[in-house]
Amino acid sequence: MYDFEDSHNKLIAGIVTPKIQVAWSRHRAWHKETVRILVRTDFVKDGTKVKLEIKIKDGKTLDTLDKGTITGNANNQDYKIEWKDKKLDPVTAEVVVTASIKDPAVTADSESLFVDTVPPLVSG
């Protein structure tokens, strides 16, 4: 038999680690379309500012969004793809978004969003 009698009022040491995740609402988009950027966190206070950096997968920054805040461990922002003045691959750009917060300092990268920068060819 096991003896289950003991003081259960013990302090258990542990570390709570804040986390952040970021994702695009879809995997592929056309130039001039609006996509949603989804940020999810764990153990981050409401009102914490989140910075989003949209960049080509090779590292060139296309845009920065820094007006959003975390509410209920989430932040969703719509983003219109307007890169006419940016020098991109003429067919498809592979784009990621990096989400970061300062306090606590955590950062995450999304999976790629493939953006077709030229209109599709249609047959007649």
Q: How many CB atoms within 10 Å of residue 47? A: 8
Residue 124 confidence (pLDDT): 63
Residue 99 confidence (pLDDT): 98
What is the C-alpha separation between 26 and 114, in angstroms, rounded? 9
Choice between 67 and 11, residue whose per-residue pLDDT is larger: 67
Residue where the block lists tokens 């130039």 = 31
Residue 72 has pLDDT above 80, yes or no: yes
Instruction: Indicate left, alpha or beta for 78 from its phi (over 0: left) and psi (-120 to 50: alpha).
Output: beta
For 44-69, the pLDDT digits (tens) are: 999 999 999 999 987 789 999 999 99
Residue 93 confidence (pLDDT): 80
Residue 87 has pLDDT above 90, yes or no: no
